[in-house]
Chain A
Amino acid sequence: MSLLEVSNLTIELPASRGPFASPAHTLVNGISFAIEPGEILALVGESGSGKSLTALSILRLLPDALTIIAGSVQLQGEELFALTEKQMNRVRGFRAAMIFQEPQVALNPVQTLEQQIGEVLTLHKGQTGQARRDAVVGLLQEVGIPDPQQRLSWYPHQLSGGQKQRVMIAMALACEPDLLIADEPTTALDVTIQKQILELLNQLRKQRQLGVLLITHDMGVVSEMADHVAVMRHGDILEYRSAVEFFANPQHEYSRQLIHSLPERRFRPSQQQPQALLTVDNLKVWFPQRQGILQRVVGHTKAVDGVSLQIHKGETLALVGESGSGKSTVGRAILALEQATEGDIRFDGQSLQGLSDKQFLPYRKRIQVIFQDPFSSMNPRMTIRQILAEGMTSLGLAGKGEEHEAKLEQLLERVGLEAQHLDRYPHEFSGGQRQRIAIARAIAVEPELIICDEPTSALDVSIRGQVMELLLELQRDMGLSYLFITHDLSIIPHLAHRVAVMKNGVLVEQGLCADVMDAPQHEYTKALLAAAPVL
């Protein structure tokens, strides 16, 4: 008997009636899988594949709008769908527990750690008082929270993101469940933290013979953790096999696509005769901290604290760092969207410091930007035509009549879309398509340098490769230079000529890709490289 046996699970969004009637929509289409004690099954898929719904439906936590129309879920032979709500509450948190993607919001902000973890113990084990406190301390210790005794009375906001996820795990494991459902447990975390959390999970499942259903989209995580893999797309399981077999010989075309979404580790050759395009010299961006009665400036948050770097013509410099490292602020300062406190930025030999909005205008044409989130980077109330034309008009590059029209169509075709898309609105496109439009918008003014601020990290893995290919292609054709801001080390070899690693506002290491990645000098670079999951 398996620990968990899901068979023929089918979830649908019921048909809606009324003026905007829509037919029933199947979200999960009769899937089956099983988990043995001590085993990790990775359920892999991209956004909208139905993997999270599957996880929620096991503990019967689906939103009210969705219904399970068929299937069975058996936990140690017991049919969960046949239980009453009251019986189900004896399963949740006791025999099967769950952790979620966003530790920031998954904990109750106004309860202390002791209250939140203790609640499970009281509920299922009837523990109270000192016994409960000792148990909570033990759990916190087990998941690696320092000074657990002191932290009992802490609130979630006093912890870091990684620590919150540890608390979530402690809460889930409090009653020693047999099954743990982990829904993208590391997606919201930085790579170095991700590694620690994954190690913790791995260690716990070995100690406790815990069966784990790991929901993820990250093939790196899968290859490191999973015993079995199930690939999901559009509500179906396409492939379900042991991890070893899966990676050695994927059967389904889509699986191959997912696995190869991680580009090969082949470094780009460095340039022959580098010619400086952008030089950043000792850039500092400080935000004042105010305090006291008169709100005097008592100190500064040093988002960027003395960064120097250079980008050559036709070259890609990758600026790598974790969240809060100040890497995006560097990009914004170059674009004059953020005022530099100190330092010099020179473009093509000209200093950009202290230019007025008007004086900066000629450089706006030459330096452009692509943002991370394709959903917020386009005004939802403008058509693609207006979005593309806006920059050209503003910089006086718009042609007239047919010439302009031809240019717009050509731009869309250049990034792999069709001319007929011009009069549509952003919401009619997928994330990948939108990022293509954002690229078209940037190249419309024929810039020389594009600041790419995590342009692929909001995209599904199978799309990422295509967008990166497009960027490389444009670089070849138009001689573009990129400042590629990213947290994802895996894409760097394929994309960048040189790398600069940033931490807490300063560059800790910079150099040619091959040098930095194969022979890192700085501790932090080493830690980053070690944490990045590889196939």
Chain B
Amino acid sequence: MLAYIVRRLLYAIPILIGVNLLTFALFFMVNSPDQMAQAQLGDKHMDPQAIEAWKAQRGYDKPLFINDAEDSDGLLTDTIFFDKSVRLFVLDFGKSDEGRSIAEDIQQRMWPSLAVALPTFVIGLAVNIVFALFVVMFRASLFDTAAMVACVVLMSISGVFYVFAGQFFFARMWNLVPISGYLGGMDAIRFLILPVIIGVIGGIGSGTRLYRTLFLEEANKDYVRTARAKGVPELTVLFRHILPNGLIPILTSVVVVIPSLFMGSLLVESFFGIPGLGSYTLDAIQAQDFAVVRSMVFLGSILYIVGLILTDISYTLVDPRVRLS
């Protein structure tokens, strides 16, 4: 088990190197720092000095990989690649193009993100599972068909629509909750209700449908017939036999996103003005702050890989058949 986790962690290293190289190539080789500066400063015929100043201020004035000007000490370290990419491995995110410390920003902003994402995730999962069970209970009936049609309709509606509709009715028409914004402490709840509800509703269609399929797959297996042959009543079959087996693929498939909950949701946070990492990233994208975007990409990858490892571990916890090796 321990050997397995260590091996998975080792396996994560080449992946992180890959992510790092890929983002580096994207950010510095497709477009040179000169071009970035030019685009950032706006004017097409900006004088070279301004560009140089912009670069120097942000540390983009160094060579990409090899610094010939330096002696052996700085040959490889005093470069953009080292400064901007290699340092990410020790979670040294550096400063944003605006000059703020990215690490501090992350520490500060991940809590509001979590405050929205975690309840959305947990409530959403619970609601979807309950709905799916309910549908499976009445499988092959008119209710089943109607519920599946409803799911497809819900899936076909753009997520943005739920946000608009939610804000319009709950906040503007009925004045139940604030339209957007965020406060720390217990006050946060008032601001969290709507985004969480919207997040849950947005996922009901696809979630319920997927889980129904998984439960139905279990319901058609032979051990269910065995249970019936034992004289187990239908409801008990559903809850004691189908549910635990169906939960295995569901739980193990959602575990991967748990670490990424820290990253928050770009859309929900920006719509509801929640000062989390999602809106942070979005602001950076819109302000073309490459340092922040790069850091968030790297952070996201790390969290995803942690999620993958957690997935494997969760298998051993919920499925007696699986042992890691």
A residues apposed to B, CB below 8 Å = 59, 61, 64, 85-86, 88-94, 97-98, 100, 102, 105-111, 119-120, 123-124, 155, 157, 168, 171, 291-295
Contact = CB atoms under 8 A, between A and B. Distances in A.
A100 B221 CA distance: 12
A100 B225 contact: yes
Interface in B202-229: 221-223, 225-229
Interface stretch (B46-54, B191-199, B304-312, B317-325): B317-325
A106 B230 contact: no
Given A64-B140, A106-B223, A110-B248, A293 B320 contact: no
6 contacts: A59-B229, A100-B229, A105-B223, A109-B320, A123-B231, A171-B226
B190 interface: no
Given A157-B321, A291-B325, A293-B3, A108 B223 contact: yes
Contacts of B140: 64
Contacts of A100: 222, 225-226, 229
B153 interface: no
B244 interface: yes
A120 B227 CA distance: 9
A93 B230 contact: yes
Contact of A168 (B226, B232, B234, B325): B226
Nearest to A102: B222
Interface centre among B223, B231, B320 (most CB of A within 10 A): B231
Contacts of B231: 88-94, 120, 123-124
Nearest to B228: A61
Contacts of A102: 222
Nearest to A89: B231
Contact of A107 (B3, B226, B248, B319): B226
Contacts of B319: 110
Given A119-B230, A292-B3, A293-B3, A106 B225 contact: yes
B211 to A, nearest CB: 17
Contacts of A292: 3, 7
A109 B227 contact: no
B232 A119 contact: yes
Contacts of B7: 292-295
Contacts of A119: 227, 230, 232, 240
Contacts of B234: 85
Contact of B229 (A64, A93, A293, A294): A93
A142 B321 CA distance: 26
A346 B323 CA distance: 42
A110 B244 CA distance: 8
A174 B7 CA distance: 46
Contacts, number: 83
B320 A110 contact: yes
A89 B232 contact: yes
B301 interface: no
Contacts of A97: 229-230
B14 interface: no
B79 to A, nearest CB: 32
A295 B320 CA distance: 23
Contacts of B226: 100, 106-108, 168, 171
A93 B225 CA distance: 12
Interface centre among B222, B230, B248, B320 (most CB of A within 10 A): B230
Given A105-B223, A292-B3, A157 B245 contact: no
A157 B3 CA distance: 24
A533 B205 CA distance: 56
Q: Which 10 A-B pairs have the closest CB atoms?
A: A92-B231, A93-B231, A93-B230, A105-B222, A98-B229, A89-B231, A155-B320, A108-B223, A106-B222, A157-B321
Given A106-B222, A106-B225, A108-B241, A293 B10 contact: yes
A30 to B, nearest CB: 25
A102 B230 CA distance: 16
Interface string B271-307: 0000000000000000000000000000000000000
Contacts of B222: 100, 102, 105-106
A199 to B, nearest CB: 23
B6 interface: yes
Contacts of B230: 92-93, 97, 119-120, 123, 171
Interface centre among A92, A105, A106, A108 (most CB of B within 10 A): A108
Contact of B228 (A92, A105, A107): A92
A105 B221 contact: yes
B315 to A, nearest CB: 12
Contacts of B99: none
B185 interface: no
Contacts of A90: 231
Interface centre among A61, A90, A91 (most CB of B within 10 A): A61
Contacts of A93: 229-232
Contacts of A171: 226, 230
Contacts of A108: 223, 226-227, 241, 245
Contacts of A124: 231
B233 interface: yes
Contacts of B228: 61, 92
Contacts of A110: 244-245, 248, 319-321
B144 to A, nearest CB: 12
Contact of B232 (A64, A91, A123): A123
